[in-house]
Amino acid sequence: LSETAQDTRRLLSQVVKEAESMVDAALPHLDPVDTEPTRAGHAPSMRSKFPQDIPSVPGPSGIVTDEIGIARSAFNGGPLGELVQWSDLVSTLHILGHHLHLSASITDLKIFLGGLKSGCPSMPTLEPNLIYTDILGLQQMQKALPNIWSKYQCKIRILDSFGTEPDFNHVSWAKGHNLSSPYGGLNLIPLQFYTMFPHTPDNTFLGFVVQPHWSDEENKKLESIKRKNQALVYGKRASFWKGKTAYLDTIHKYLDLHGTVDNGALIPSYVTNHGIVKGAEVHALLRESKVFVGLSFPFEGPAPLEALANGCVFLNPRLNPPQSRLNSEFFKEKPNIREVTSQHPYAEAIGEPYVWMVDMDNSTDVERAVKAIINQTIEPYIPYEFTCEGMLQRVNILIEKQDFCNSTTSWPPLSTLQVVTAEVGASCKDTCQKQGLICEPAFFPHLNSAQSLANYGINCQTTEHSGGYLVLPAYDNNSKHCVFQSDPLLFSCVRSHLSWTRVCPCRDYIKDQIALCKACL
Ligand code: U2F
């Protein structure tokens, strides 16, 4: 193993050790139980007293393998968001009591799943219940284990930061419609893609944990920190600061500026640069700052939520025009056409007083926001879905209930289905959202026949099945002609059609836990 892979291993095993020490703190609150084995034979609700009885869940991860090497750039300003999510997932699975096998190289993958001799006679080939990987990891699996990977297809969960929409996932649709992308065409069920934020209901929201678990000593230190007239700039790489000097000059009229930047020589001289620092130091800097200043990149990272958790406002640059694969180098190869309206759309939805939107090129707008921010104080805020408890609750239920191997089971419970007809030209994502609900793609098959639509007052005069649209089931309001989906991989919440009325499967959700319906607990 190279040094980097060993570092990654050390990091992950340290995470597991830390997780172990968190168990005692977390579980009294979460009511530990020895529950009955669940329907799918997965783990019990909370950590069992007999973890050896619990099925295994390996997590071979593409990006952390030495062959891909994201871990290599982790200590010099490279993306850490994905590693935050992997660490949190590993900790969560461990706390929930699963047997976890980590693979950070193709050789390990072959030993775990492909029967390659490990040199360790007691190491059996695994029969995993679930496999967590990412898009590159899946591609590695398909290449390394070409004869057996399809056996695991329904057990795979893909960590996919920005999401994969159904048309990009569907290999022949993508080819035929010029939507090919190096990360698309995997032909999985779209809910098998697990995202960082709830970007699209077509995928599953996995998330991560924002709430840090500090030692008593670290906690005391953080609590003693006083807030200063200070801003921390969100930009680990000096290249993110390029062209932003006028914007920073305006903020600097009101606040001292600090940064954690790889190369301090390339940023304005009035900025106090701390270099790339450890997570605890970022939190300490956020505690003493009034505002965390977005520079419009990186998109959709964990750090703005860490700012709010430390009582520090996030200044969120608008992206005008919104960025997507159609106009942005960064999103060009991503397998979706979602439009990103600001550096952090999830934070944008949280809104004031925690998140202030700003037009970076308009100094009047910047001054307006900064003046308002320095005259207010906010309490630390973490949406429930990003707390330790929220993540444990969500992942536990997903493991117990979400099952793509068995077509006779259905989850979420059908009792939560609320059928809403969209306006012509509207998507189901927007239609459900307007009603305070969320589109639930798992329910599409239940609406995909004339008989089922009749139960909801939609009477089809004529019917047809088609694999040529992403908006089905749908109907023509005048002729009462109904069209049903013939290809289940093309069910999609996000698309709309100018002449079809969509029939939308919506459900409710727990406040601040959008992945779960109210009856899901
Ligand atoms: C996002 O990845 P990033 O790694 O750029 O996300 P950030 O929000 O900047 O930070 C991730 C973590 O890095 C920590 C910080 C966060 O927990 O506390 N950190 C640190 O430890 N030391 C420092 O000096 C500065 C930050 C996103 F998550 C990815 O999905 C995207 O690929 C990427 C590009 O858009 O942006």
196 lines ligand 1 (CB under 6 A): yes
* Cα 17 to middle of ligand 1, angstroms: 23
Residue 399 neighbours by CB under 8 Å, 6+ apart: 42, 43, 57, 96, 98, 130
Q: What is the pLDDT of residue 432?
A: 98
306 lines ligand 1 (CB under 6 A): yes
* Residue with CA closest to ligand 1 atom 16: 303
279 lines ligand 1 (CB under 6 A): yes
236 lines ligand 1 (CB under 6 A): yes
* Cα 45 to middle of ligand 1, angstroms: 31
Q: What is the pLDDT of residue 222?
A: 87
509 lines ligand 1 (CB under 6 A): no
The residues with which 419 forms a beta bridge, in sequence order, are: 505
Looking at residue 343, what DSSP letter applies?
S
* Cα 286 to middle of ligand 1, angstroms: 14
User: Which atom of ligand 1 sits closest to the CA of residue 276?
Assistant: 24
* Residue with CA closest to ligand 1 atom 18: 279
Query: Measured between alpha carbons, how far is 419 from 447 in angstroms, rounded to an integer?
Result: 9
* Cα 294 to middle of ligand 1, angstroms: 12
* Cα 440 to middle of ligand 1, angstroms: 30
82 lines ligand 1 (CB under 6 A): yes
Q: What is the pLDDT of residue 43?
A: 31
User: Which atom of ligand 1 sits closest to the CA of residue 78?
Assistant: 4
Q: What is the pLDDT of residue 66?
A: 60
Pair of tokens at residue 98: 């699963």
* Cα 357 to middle of ligand 1, angstroms: 20
Omega cis (within 30) before 321 = yes
Smallest CA-to-CA distance from 179 within 486, 485, 492 is with 492
Residue 110 neighbours by CB under 8 Å, 6+ apart: 116, 144, 145
Query: Measured between alpha carbons, how far is 50 from 375 in angstroms, rounded to an integer?
Result: 54
Query: Measured between alpha carbons, how far is 268 from 273 in angstroms, rounded to an integer?
Result: 10
79 lines ligand 1 (CB under 6 A): yes
199 lines ligand 1 (CB under 6 A): no
What would the DSSP string read from start to end of 57-84? EEEE-TTTSTTT-GGGGGGGT---HHHH
User: Which atom of ligand 1 sits closest to the CA of residue 303?
Assistant: 8
What would the DSSP string read from start to end of 209-278? --S----HHHHHHHHTPPP-SEEEEE-SSGGGGTT-HHHHHHHHTTSEEEE--S-GGGS-TTSEE--S--
Pair of tokens at residue 490: 């093309």
Tens digits of pLDDT across the chain (521 residues): 233 334 444 555 554 454 444 433 333 333 333 333 332 333 323 333 233 334 456 554 555 566 555 566 666 666 788 989 999 999 999 999 999 998 888 888 888 887 777 777 666 677 899 999 999 889 888 888 888 878 899 999 999 999 999 999 999 999 999 998 999 999 999 999 999 999 999 999 999 999 777 888 888 888 899 999 999 999 999 999 999 999 999 999 999 999 999 988 899 999 999 999 988 899 999 999 999 999 999 999 999 999 999 999 999 999 999 999 999 999 999 999 999 999 999 999 999 999 999 999 999 999 999 999 999 999 999 999 999 999 999 999 999 999 999 988 889 999 999 999 999 999 999 999 999 999 999 999 999 999 999 999 999 999 999 999 999 999 999 999 999 999 999 999 999 999 999 999 999 999 999 999 999 99
Angstrom distances, CA of residue 310 to CA of 211, 317, 394: 9, 20, 23
Query: Measured between alpha carbons, how far is 346 from 335 in angstroms, rounded to an integer?
Result: 19
* Residue with CA closest to ligand 1 atom 19: 279
Best mutation site among 80, 135, 211, 297 for ligand 1, i.e. most ligand atoms within 8 A of its Cβ? 80
Q: What is the pLDDT of residue 124?
A: 67
Mapped to the 3 state alphabet, what secondary structure does 87-105 carry?
A: HHHHHHHHHCCCEEEEECC
* Cα 277 to middle of ligand 1, angstroms: 12
Pair of tokens at residue 427: 């998507």
User: Which atom of ligand 1 sits closest to the CA of residue 283?
Assistant: 18
User: Which atom of ligand 1 sits closest to the CA of residue 162?
Assistant: 30
Report residue 39 CA to chain centroid gap.
Answer: 26
Burial of 55 (0-12, 13-18, 19+ CB in 10 A): middle
80 lines ligand 1 (CB under 6 A): yes
Going across the sheet that includes 193-195, the strands are 131-134, 156-159, 193-195, 204-205
* Cα 32 to middle of ligand 1, angstroms: 33
284 lines ligand 1 (CB under 6 A): no
Q: What is the pLDDT of residue 28?
A: 34
* Cα 84 to middle of ligand 1, angstroms: 8
User: Residue 503: phi, psi to the nearest 5?
Assistant: -105, 120
Handedness of CA 182, 68, 17, 58 (dihedral sign): positive
The residues with which 234 forms a beta bridge, in sequence order, are: 294
User: Which atom of ligand 1 sits closest to the CA of residue 282?
Assistant: 18
425 lines ligand 1 (CB under 6 A): no
* Residue with CA closest to ligand 1 atom 32: 79
* Cα 144 to middle of ligand 1, angstroms: 30
405 in Cβ contact with 155 (< 8 Å): yes
* Cα 347 to middle of ligand 1, angstroms: 15
413 lines ligand 1 (CB under 6 A): no
81 lines ligand 1 (CB under 6 A): yes
* Cα 196 to middle of ligand 1, angstroms: 12
Pair of tokens at residue 431: 């239609």
User: Which atom of ligand 1 sits closest to the CA of residue 302?
Assistant: 8
Q: What is the pLDDT of residue 301?
A: 96
User: Residue 318: phi, psi to the nearest 5?
Assistant: -70, 145
